[in-house]
Structure formats: structure tokens, C-alpha cells
Structure 1
Amino acid sequence: MKRSLFLIIFFFFALFTLVLASDLTVEGLKGSVEKVVTGRFTYRSENDQWLAGELETRRIKVFSPLGDYLTVALYINGAQYSRHEYKYDENGQKQETRYYKNDAENYTTREIYTYDGRGLLIEEITMEYWPVFLGGDRLSGKTVLAYDDRGYISLKRLLNDHGVILSSVRLTYDDGGRLIRESHYGKDEKLESILLYKYEGAVLRGIHSLDSSNRILEEVVTGGENGLNDRTQYSYSGDRAVRSSRTLADGYISVNEIVDLTETDRPGRRVEISFALEPLVVMFDTEETLQTIISRNATGKITGVDFKSGNYLLAGFKYYFDNAGRLLAREYAFGENSLRVDYRYDTAGNWIEERYFKLEDHEYRPVSTLARQIDYFE
């Protein structure tokens, strides 16, 4: 299976968000949010002072009173790059999504949703825009869903514009309704891959991806705390694993251990550490297995993660919280880099500033700020 497990997981949860939670809840926003405008500005030095530059809009999201998306627009270099518009019926059920490139007047594609008598999504049709004088919109493809007696999705099929099945997914649940297995099939109905879901109680803790020969392709440990996820991928030559790549990331920094498994006596190891807010990459060649040491506070929250090779500290993460459990700051140290990200919140408990600093000459200097202007329904 060449598709990333993360993409498959995203597709699976995107379908369930249609019925399980509002977009506002998925975004983690609190209160009756109507609109969020996100932008970033950088700092420049002038007369020994750090001055903020012009705010550049990155995203605009507009929500309905029920907390669902009405518009999601992305911007690059101040210009609109794409836009999604959503339509709902009087009961708040999503009826249509339209996708626009740049700031075009006409949409590129639109998705139309059909529900059964129970209100369950059973069909998602994708149409491509064509002018009326050329015959109007054309069918691009569709996704068809079937459900078991409990109302859980049991089968998903992707069809092309001629109704030919391109792929299908069969889903299996335990007695408690937890998804435990996804079986992915190609257009010839041959098994291509399997996803196995592992839980602690009701909490999803791990996902394993196997190919049709039951070789492990990918493993994901979904902690969720501070955005931390632990992901390992394997490459094969025949039935033998020849390479493993383990990545622990929190959305800001990524620590990737790559192991050459062809060297059985002393496998070659490389650790790559990269930062998301600017192109900072540090690489280490090591002989020891990468150790991950996690620290927690009295409430069980992760407050630190250290990465060691033998007795050598390669990287360290630190997380700081207030008494209400809100994340106040993140600190990262790797190579010669010491970085800090801190947060400011509004009265509703939503963060409105994410400020990024870099340690230089024994003090943190501001690099950039991600700002959110949040409007609420009255």
C-alpha cells in the first residue's frame, strides 16, 4: 500500500465528522464562534528594537450557528488560493460542498450528499464544473456507503463516472461499537491492505497498517496529548524489512530515526530533527537505539520529552500549562537551536496569539506571530 496511513485515517474521520461532531468541535474552538481570521506577521530589528511587520492573512473560516463550516478560504502571499463553500438544509444536514480555485467566480468541483431515512449519509457525488453551453456539470465519481443494523458504516465504495468500482473498504466493529478493522480492496476486489485499531477503553491508542501478505507497513501510536504522535514505517525487499523510519512529532517539531536493517550486526542509524515554523534541520549518525523519555506532571499531562542516544541528549521538548490545564508554552532544544512558542488566550479560552521565539545571545528574540481574530455570535 503506497498511500500514507495518515491520509487514510483523515479520510475515515472526515466521513464520521459529518454525523458525529460539528466542525467547531473538531477545530477545538470554544463558545459560539462565527468567524476566525488567521494571519502571520514577522519581526524586523530597527534601532535595537523588534518591530512587527504587516499581518498576512492565511485562512478565513466562517461557521454557522450550529458550529459547521460555511466558508473555508486559504491565502498565499495575500491572495486567495482556494475556497470551500458549504450548504445545509433547514435541519443543519450538509447538502453540498463547492470547491473554488483561487478567487474564481465559478467552482471547480462540487460534492452533493444524499441521506437515507435515518439521516445517515449513503452517497457522495462529485461533479466537475462545465458551462451550460457545453452540457453543464459532469459526473466525476461517487462514494457509496452502506451501514450495519447498528447504524455503523460497514462498506465504502469509490466509483468512477461510469459506475465502475475503483476501490472499497469493509469495516468491522467490536460489540461496543469500536472500529477494530478496515479491509481495503482494489478495483479487482483483491485485498490490498488492512488497518487494525487498538484501544485503551474507549480511547484509540494505536493503528497498524498491514499489506495483503500481513507485513507491517506502518504503526501509529495516537497519544493525542500536546499533539504528539508516534509513527513507524517499514520498507521491504521481498519478505524482509530493510528499513524502518520512526517519527515522533507534535505538529511543530519532528524527530525521525531511520534504521538500515540490512546491517544485522550493527544497523546504521540516522536521526533527523526538523522544525515546522522555519527550515531548521539537524542530523545525527548514531549507533545506539534512540531512547524516548517522557515526563508528566501530577495530573498526568506530558510536560517533557527527551531523546537520547546512549548518554547523549539529541533533543528535548518542554510543555508548560496554567492551572486550568491550558498550554502556555512549548520549548524545543536540538543541536544549537533553542526555540520557544507561547500562547495568549481570549476570555472564551481560545488562543488568539501563537508567538515564536529563537534564543540568540542568551535571550529569546521574536521571529513571528500567528494571530487569530475570532468573532462570536451575539
Structure 2
Amino acid sequence: MTTIPTTGRALMLVERVKSFDQPDLASCFEVQQVELPALTADQVLVKVECSPINPSNLSQLQGHYGDFGKRPLPQATGGEGSGTVIAAGEGEYAQSLVGKRVGTVANPAGMWAEYVAVPAVSCIPLTDETTFEDGASCFVNPLTVVAFVETAIAKDVKAIVHTAGASALGKMLVRHAKENGINVVAVVRRQEHVDTLKEIGAEYIVNTSDADWHKQLKEITSELNATIGFDAVGGSTAGAVLSAMPANSELFVYGALSGEGISGVSARDLIFLNKKVSGFWLVQYLRHRGAGMAEMIGKVASALTTTFRTKIRVSYPLEEAAAAFQDYSQNMSNDKVAFKPFQ
């Protein structure tokens, strides 16, 4: 019989992060012993095995994501991960998950911990061939990719532009878009990113290290009529990408890896060429999708070891949070860094 814990270790944010290069980064975090809540009827308790660091997590820790900056400290951390359901509330579906391996998401945070209580409906049962590492990134990146492709299909667009093209999300997007007959024009920063994307079948790649990258991008987007773009970088990159896209294009901004606001968008593009800059937030998209979210999750669950597979490059225990964040922030295009609480 499994003993149900009443407390567990959790990584807590005790001071806002100013920079992931700051010398006192470790002082922003504490691994604390926290009490686990009594489960409601529709909740389950997950013993966490693996939980990745995503770009949105870095923004959260700095207080720049949603309302995280307004929430009191100390603050639970981590958004998604995988593990085993060891206890459940009285609800029928919750009870059916006991003993099962799942991928899940913590709302609003708390996955970087030994145990987390989550709604049963936020769990995706993992197939036998899906490892905890495969299932750890089953929500944020995969659902974002599905949303991007759905957006392109709804607008009858056959090619999309994507910055941060060699990221874990970017690789998923190349694979999933191709399965749906959509080309991806990946914008990257280094030749090694070009090589990596070619290995997974990407056909259209623009390297911003090339002197004529803007001209290359303009020619490709014109040829493919790529009138939708998704930008994770911000800053001047966003404006430059939009200016290279055809008339009537729309650039959806879903991140700010540069740490800068959108710049370089010309009035001519907005007024005379009818170009647009819009925001994209996965949470809002899923709310709008409503019951259709189940269909999205179904697509992801059946392809976690193929289309939506995420490679974990290295894992850290909770006590080495500062090293983990520095590693990830300096190598964000080199697969995932994750926490393994029991490592």
C-alpha cells in the first residue's frame, strides 16, 4: 500500500530575478518543505519525475508574465511536467488515474516540486512507450504548435514564418506543420541552427547572421505567400521580419526572448500594406477553443514520442536551480533543461 505524503520539497521563488547572469542568482530561490493540500473530489496528487524549463518560466521568475509580478513571495515555480498519480479525490475520473503515469500542468505554478496537486482533467495519461522525459513537455510547446497550425489553416495560409526557429517549439512546428501541408520559414541566428533544422526536414531556413538575410526572407515569403508569422524574440527582429513579409501579413508575438519591446515596425507597412502586429497567449487561445481543447490534447497525446517529442539535454535537482537556469538561458536552442526532484 502506497503511503500518501503530507509534505514535500518544493522550489520556491523568494526574490524576483533581475537577470539570469546575476552573481547572487541562487539567493532568489529556496527549496522548502511545504504542506500538501487536501485533495478536492476532482484533483489528483502527482509524484513529479521530470519538469522542463520553458521561456515563459523565465519571464514568470522575473515577474514579466501575466500577473506573476503582482503575486506575493514566496511563490511556487514550474508550469508543466510528468510523474505518477499516487492519490486522488473521490471523483470517478480522478480515481481512474491512480497509479498511472501522466503528463500534466500546474495552474498557476508549482511543478518544480516533489509532489503537486492538479485537476484530474489537466492530466494526459502516457502510453507505455512514452518516457517521463517525453511526457514532461506535453502541454505548453505542443499545444502552442497545434494552435499555430490551426491558425494558419483557419486563415487558409500554406506557409508561416517563425522566429526562434531552432528552439524545441520550432522543431515541433516544422514537423507538425509539414504533416498538415504547411511550410515553415524558420528564422535562426547561427549556422548550427540551420544544420539542426535541415536534419529534421526543414526546407526554408533564414540565418540572421547572413548579411543578406532580410533579402532572403523577403524572397521566400513572397514566393510562398507567407502572410502569417509567429515571433518569440521581440525587439528589432520582429519589425524586420514583418517588413520582409508580403502585404496583408500578420505577425503574432508570443514571446520576448530579447527582453525588448517590439521595434522597427514602419508606419508604411501598417498603413499602406495593411500589415498587423497582434499578441498571442496560449492560455487565451485555449479559453477561446473551449471544448475543442480536448481535440488538441488528443493530437498531442498520440504523438509525444514522434511529432511532439522533446529532448531533455540535461536535468538538475531542485537544489541546483541557479545552475539550471543559467544553463538554459545561455543555451535555449540546444534542447531542454529540466528538473528531476528526486534526482
Same fold (TM over 0.5): no
**Whose Rg is larger?**
1
Whose strand proportion is higher, 1 or 2?
Answer: 1
TM-score, length-scaled by structure 1: 0.26
Whose helix proportion is higher, 1 or 2?
Answer: 2
TM-score, length-scaled by structure 2: 0.27
Higher RCO (Cα < 8 Å, 6 or more apart): 2
